[in-house]
Amino acid sequence: MPFRRIKLDKIDRKILRDLQADGRITNVELAKNSGISAPPCLRRVRALEESGFIKSYHARLEPAALGYGITVFAHVKLVSQAEADLKKFEDQCKKWDLVRECHMLSGEVDYLLRIVAKDWESYQNFLTSDLTSAPNVMSVKTMPLVRSAKEEPGVPVDVD
């Protein structure tokens, strides 16, 4: 969804910061933190949604609690970088449940993928049966995640 260019004031930025930190914050709490009453706060949130500043609301799940103990980052190089071939690869990535992120890059590799799997066997099965055998894939270099030191969603929101 394209966003409309609107000038964000300090209150809008506070609303965005608080919603990004806690998508379940109540409108009353959000209004209090922003220094306004609840009805105008709700109108501002709706305007921020309609303008495209707020993309979605979701819960961040704990992968290990759901049995996903493996996270791997993969650099994927394609044979062809023609737009139609790039689109086909992106469409395929959207169909693979284990691929949680797919980012096109500039440089020596074409895509960076974040892949989750329950265990090494299921990951290797995905790698050999799906990813490396996909049309137009020339090479895949993988890097298993050892640990995460920081995971912040979104972007920094300056309120000053």
What per-residue string of b and e applies to 41-58 under the rule 16 or more CB within 10 Å gives b?
Answer: beebbeebeebebbeeee
16 within a domain of the structure (yes/no): yes
Task: Please give the structure tokens belonging to residue 32.
Answer: 């209090």
Task: Please give the structure tokens belonging to residue 116.
Answer: 């989750």
Note the pLDDT of residue 160. Answer: 80
Same domain, 102 and 134: yes
Same domain, 20 and 89: no
What confidence tens digit (pLDDT) does each residue in 58-97 have? 999 999 999 999 999 999 999 999 999 999 999 999 999 9
Same domain, 28 and 95: no
Number of domains in the chain: 2
159 within a domain of the structure (yes/no): no
What per-residue string of b and e applies to 121-156 under the rule 16 or more CB within 10 Å gives b?
Answer: ebbeebbeebbeebebbeebebeeeeeeeeeeeeee
Contact 109, 142 (CB under 8 A): no
Range of the domain at 31: 10-50
Ranges in the chain, pLDDT < 70: 1-5
Same domain, 130 and 90: yes
Amino acid at 92: Q
106 within a domain of the structure (yes/no): yes
154 within a domain of the structure (yes/no): no
